[in-house]
């Protein structure tokens, strides 16, 4: 997803998770860290927190990809004509205003050229993580989903409230999988409240909070 080419050893979700855990172990320097993930990133963040609960100060999942997806709605535009931008923009954003198109062209589209398609194809063949007996992360958790998310839906995300004992859930109307772009002010407010809960949390974790991870 960036300028670093994925090595051939990354052949599935378990390999990606292992690389992420190794990276976190290497850079945390004995301090706890925050985990924030969007889409597939949220899938991995949830697994990382479950495997390293005492090292994770807080977990935030935005439009999470989950194995038990259900009730995924069809794509529907709620603002705009649906006739601007390229096909990716029109099929991804539910808010299709000139301002949102500018944001897409500035922040989203440039990354397309950096995608390692060969690695994605390898990993997608084994995209589901192996079953693990680790309990769900018990610390401060935030789950944010777009009600109109035609990629992963919101129903499976809502189930996470029953798994995570200290989870807040927000299902945001007029937002799809591009929720961070379509509802940035609301997401900032939700993240700010989550950070306050992280600061108040008292469950054991070594060291201090090192900052966003």
Q: Which two tokens stand for residue 117?
A: 């398609």
Phi and psi of 143, rounded to 5°? Answer: -125, 120
* Structure confidence at residue 92 (pLDDT): 94
Instruction: Answer whether residue 210 shows pLDDT above 60.
Output: no
Residue 3 lies in a domain: no
Instruction: Answer whether residue 211 shows pLDDT above 80.
Output: no
CATH number at residue 111: 3.40.50.1820
What mean pLDDT is reported for the chain?
A: 92
Judge whether 20 and 49 are in contact, CB under 8 Å: no
Residue 213 lies in a domain: no
Q: Which two tokens stand for residue 109?
A: 């589209």
Domain tally for the chain? 1
The model's confidence at residue 203, banded by pLDDT at 50, 70 and 90, is low
Residue 98 lies in a domain: yes
**What's this model's pTM, rounded to 2 decimal places?**
0.91
Q: How far is it, in rounded angstroms, from Cα 15 to Cα 38?
A: 19
∠ Cα 170 111 58 (to 5°)? 35
* Structure confidence at residue 158 (pLDDT): 96
Q: What is the pLDDT of residues 95-148, one digit of tens each?
A: 999 999 999 999 999 988 899 999 999 999 999 999 888 899 999 999 999 999
The model's confidence at residue 204, banded by pLDDT at 50, 70 and 90, is low
Radius of gyration of the chain (CA): 18
Q: How far is it, in rounded angstroms, from Cα 145 to Cα 38?
A: 10
Angle, nearest 10°, between helix axes 13-27 and 40-51? 60
Task: Name the residue range of residue 187's domain.
Answer: 13-205
């Amino acid at each position: 997803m960036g300028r670093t080419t994925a090595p051939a050893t990354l052949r599935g979700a378990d390999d990606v998770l292992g690389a992420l855990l190794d990276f976190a172990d290497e850079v945390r320097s004995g301090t706890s860290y925050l985990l924030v993930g969007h889409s597939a990133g949220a899938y991995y963040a949830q697994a990382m927190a479950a495997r390293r609960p005492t090292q994770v100060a807080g977990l935030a999942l935005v439009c999470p990809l989950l194995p038990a997806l259900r009730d995924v709605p069809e794509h529907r535009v709620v603002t705009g004509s649906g006739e601007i931008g390229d096909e990716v923009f029109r099929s991804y954003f539910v808010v299709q205003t000139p301002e949102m198109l500018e944001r897409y062209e500035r922040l989203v589209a440039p990354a397309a050229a950096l995608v390692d398609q060969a690695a994605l194809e390898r990993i997608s063949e084994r995209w589901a993580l192996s079953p693990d007996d680790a309990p769900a992360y018990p610390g401060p958790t935030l789950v944010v989903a777009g009600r109109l998310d035609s990629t992963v839906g919101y129903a499976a995300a809502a189930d996470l409230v029953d798994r995570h004992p200290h989870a807040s859930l927000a299902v945001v109307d007029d937002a799809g999988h591009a929720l961070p772009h379509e509802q940035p002010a609301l997401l900032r407010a939700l993240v700010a409240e989550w950070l306050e809960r992280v600061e108040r949390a008292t469950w054991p974790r070594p060291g201090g909070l090192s900052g966003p991870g």
